[in-house]
Each structure stands twice: as structure tokens, then as C-alpha cells.
Amino acid sequence: MSVNIIQQRLGSYDCKDALEEDHALREIVQELLLAGLSRTDFFKTAAFQGGTALRIFFGLQRFSEDLDFVLKGPDADMDLIPFLKSACREIEAFGFHFEIIDKKNTTTAVRKAFIKQDAAGIFLDLKYMPKDRSARSLRVKVECDVNPPSGAGYQIKYLDFPFPCAVLLQDTPSLFAGKIHALLCREYVKGRDWYDLLWYLAQKTPVNVDLLSSALDQVGPWKGRGVKVDLAWLGQALTEKIALMDWQAVQKDVEPFLRPQERPSLAIWGKEFFMDRIKNIGTVVSVGNQ
């Protein structure tokens, strides 16, 4: 019966190619892991964040790869692995049997692990199963920031799949602050950051500028400079970033995470388009955790 639930969930995606089917399988596992973590004490001290949080709880129209979490307060001794082991035991009933690969590095503020299954989906009726019936591998990266910047707000959201459960998230102004920090400070091109920026702007999401200021002071080119974000600073920083971007590389990164019908819209992505979009940023800046 539990396997049937997964099969029905997969069918609801109406995947059009093997790439979509892979994304759908990964997203199903992401939701299973969140549900499994909800049956531990994990969300008493940690909150869900990042693009996958937008995808699962707010309907962001792009697929996402990783599960990103952040502690509510610093804890250098936090160990992610016991929580993941408990979560994986919870989802074994649904046909998945994962190997947990610990990538912990105590010299960094982010705890990392991978949840991996080499025979992912072999127990399912896959629409795009290879003719030789070889199983595709499935891997989900899980990260948790154990030294978070201060100033975040939180909210509780609920999942119905695979069973009713509660998940603690950063609130949307805090999620937006985290995305802007990543967009400004990331050392490599990630088109998904720009896709998410458009989503926040379209939703008129306010920015938790206290959290953004704290994050900028902690990590990135503004580290230790005590920047206090306001409208003028944010507009200038985004303008400078937009001018420097390789927009072909940005499009190339995000395209595989979009469904085929959405990809043509990438043709207008470029400096002029994003400069026009950020003109509205002035209507969505907020001070701190409201």
C-alpha cells in the first residue's frame, strides 16, 4: 500500500521526459525526508529554507535539488546524522532504503550529508525506465547551517504527503533575505537564484533587512564591514551584480529545472530585463523580523 502511494504521487506529475521524472522522484524523496524529520525533535531547533522550501510549500515553478536547513541559534556541536537516520527509518515503509553519506566538516558552519540510493525507483512503474531496466541512482544533498546569522523569523507549514505533519520554515521575508545574500555573495553562477528573485518580486515579498545585514556581515565580500541594508544600498548592489552576470550561463543553469513549457521565457533574461524587474524592489523592503 505504501508503495502505491508513491506510485500515485509520481503519476500526478505527468512527466514528459526522463529529466522531469528524475526531478519528480527526487522531490518525492525530499517530502518523505521532511515528513520523517518531523517525527523527530529536529524542527524544535532547525528551520527549512532555500529554493526547495519555496517549491514544496509555496508552489515555486522550478524543481530543486537540495534540502537546506538552518538552526534557530548557533550550536557548533549539532550532529545532523542521527536525525537523518531516524527520518530514513520512517520512509523505509515506502520502498526507499537509503545510504547516508556524512560530509561533516567541523571547520565550517554548514553540516553536509547525502542521502543516496543506487536502485532508486526500481520498485516503481517508471514511464521513462531505460530499456535495459537499469535503475537510476538518486541522491539528495542535505545541509544545515549551525552558525546562523541573527534576525530570522519563522512560520509553521503543513504537509499532507506522505502523512500529515508540521515543518518549521523561515518566514518569507527571511527566506528572501537569504536568497539575496546567496545571489550577491555566491562565487559561481546559479541561475536558480535569479529565477527565485523573480518569484519573490512577483509576490511583493518584503525583505528582512536585519537578517540580510547580519548575513552579509558574516559571510561574503562585505564580511565584517557592518553594512546596514537599506533601499539605496540594495538597489545599488543588485544593479552592480546584474551588470556583471553572464546571462547565457544563468539561463543554462536554470533551464534543466524548468518544465518544457516554461523554458521559452528564458529568452528575455538579460541585463535590461532584470534591471526593469528590480525597479519594484523599493515596494518590498522591510526592516527586520516583523
Taking only the tens of pLDDT, the chain with its 290 residues reads: 588 899 999 999 999 888 899 899 999 999 999 999 999 999 999 999 999 999 999 999 999 999 999 999 999 999 999 999 999 998 888 888 889 999 877 678 899 999 998 765 667 888 887 655 455 678 999 999 999 999 999 999 999 999 999 999 999 999 999 999 999 999 999 999 999 999 999 999 999 999 999 999 999 999 999 999 998 899 999 999 999 999 999 999 999 999 989 999 999 999 999 999 998 776 555 555 44
95 shares a domain with 176: no
224 shares a domain with 129: no
DSSP-based three-state secondary structure for 163: coil
| Last residue within a domain, chosen from 121, 148, 170 | 170
CA distance readout (Å), 69 to 6, 43, 153, 176: 25, 10, 14, 15
129 shares a domain with 25: yes
| Last residue within a domain, chosen from 145, 170, 195 | 170
204 shares a domain with 97: no
| Last residue within a domain, chosen from 130, 152, 170 | 170
Buried b (16+ CB within 10 A) or exposed e, 43-67: bebbbbbbbbbbbbbeebebbbbbb
Residue 266 φ/ψ region, left for φ over 0, alpha for ψ in the -120 to 50 degree band, beta for the rest: alpha
Angle of helix 172-185 relative to helix 191-202, nearest 10 degrees, comes to: 150
- Strands 67-71 and 46-49, how do they pair? antiparallel
The pLDDT of residue 290 is 44
35 shares a domain with 148: yes
| Total number of domains in the chain | 2
The pLDDT of residue 103 is 87
157 shares a domain with 187: no
* Amino acid making up residue 108: T
CA contacts within 13 A on the Cβ side of 27: 27
178 shares a domain with 75: no
197 shares a domain with 83: no
Task: Note the pTM of the prediction, 2 decimals.
Answer: 0.92
Query: What range defines the domain where residue 75 resides?
Result: 1-170
The pLDDT of residue 93 is 86
